[in-house]
Amino acid sequence: METTAAAPYHSNQKLVIHLIRHAHGLHNLESERHRDPLKRIQYADPELSPLGWQQVREQRKDLSASGLLERIELVVTSPLTRTLQTSVGIFGSPLKDENTVGNGYQNGIKTPIFNHPPIIASELCRERLSKGRSRGSISQCRSRFPQVDFSLIEREDDILWEADERESDESVAAKGIKFIKWLLARKEKEIAVVSHGVFLQQTLIALKNEFDSSIEEEFLTPFGNCEIRSLKFFRESVVRLGQDYKKN
């Protein structure tokens, strides 16, 4: 069922935004293994788990079959490792080995075998700021993810995370609305956003509270790993296109 609401902007452009939570991470695996937080391995910037990589492969296959993979004009990703891996895994170019059909290097540069949408990293869509949720340096990120544009991030090292404070839901929601307005000011017509569960949920809740009280509660529930929920913004309305319910 579609939901229509007043949107937080004034524009004649039409924009479709696909919100994607990162695939299953090692920190998710620890939470499933140990209910007691004190027994869990603490990851500063966790990578995807084997299940997460499987989810990425399946989502890429599904999006390719549906034609969505070719329609996406831009991918915006959080600069944390699990979102970068999800973004490149789903939307990046497979790499062709120029020497042994395995390494994918030519003169030290990885060579894509077909075009992919630009992938840019933004601090605006990263997870709730708190202890243990810091990103790597931009130099490290560029080295590991050469397909991603990190030019929007000004600081080499992470100065946003707080060692002893947890960002409030209100702060996350405000950041989410700011991010949505930034997307609406861009020229692209169809954008994928790869982010985190809390950020995505609080952004949708803020859209409901501030711009459309009729959005169904079902659409505001926590995201599953690698789940996609899509919205269409057109002039002064936002239409919920649906979700794929990819949950663990």
Quick one: pLDDT at residue 183? 92
Confirm whether 127 is a catalytic residue: yes
Cross-strand partners of 21: 195
Q: Do 76 and 125 contact (CB within 8 A), yes or no?
A: yes
Q: Which helix (H) or strand (E) holds 243?
A: strand 237-243
Q: Which helix (H) or strand (E) holds 87?
A: helix 81-91
Confirm whether 58 is a catalytic residue: no
> pTM for the complete prediction?
0.80
Residue of 18, 22, 24, 27 with catalytic role: 22
Domain boundaries defined on the chain: 4-243
Burial of 94: CB neighbours in 10 Å, binned 0-12, 13-18, 19+: exposed
Assigned token pair, 104? 């994918």
Residue of 24, 123, 127, 227 with catalytic role: 127
CA atoms within 13 A on the CB side of 233: 25
Q: Report the alpha-carbon distance of residue 175 to residue 177 in Å, rounded.
A: 6
Quick one: pLDDT at residue 4? 34
Per-residue pLDDT of the chain (248 residues; tens, 9 = 90+): 233 333 444 444 588 999 999 999 987 776 656 555 444 456 668 899 999 999 999 999 999 999 999 999 999 999 999 999 999 999 998 644 333 222 332 333 344 444 689 999 999 998 887 665 667 789 999 999 999 999 999 888 766 555 567 778 898 999 999 999 899 889 999 999 999 999 999 999 998 888 777 778 888 999 999 999 998 876 555 555 555 544 44
CATH architecture assigned to 4-243: 3-Layer(aba) Sandwich (3.40)
Assigned token pair, 63? 């999006």
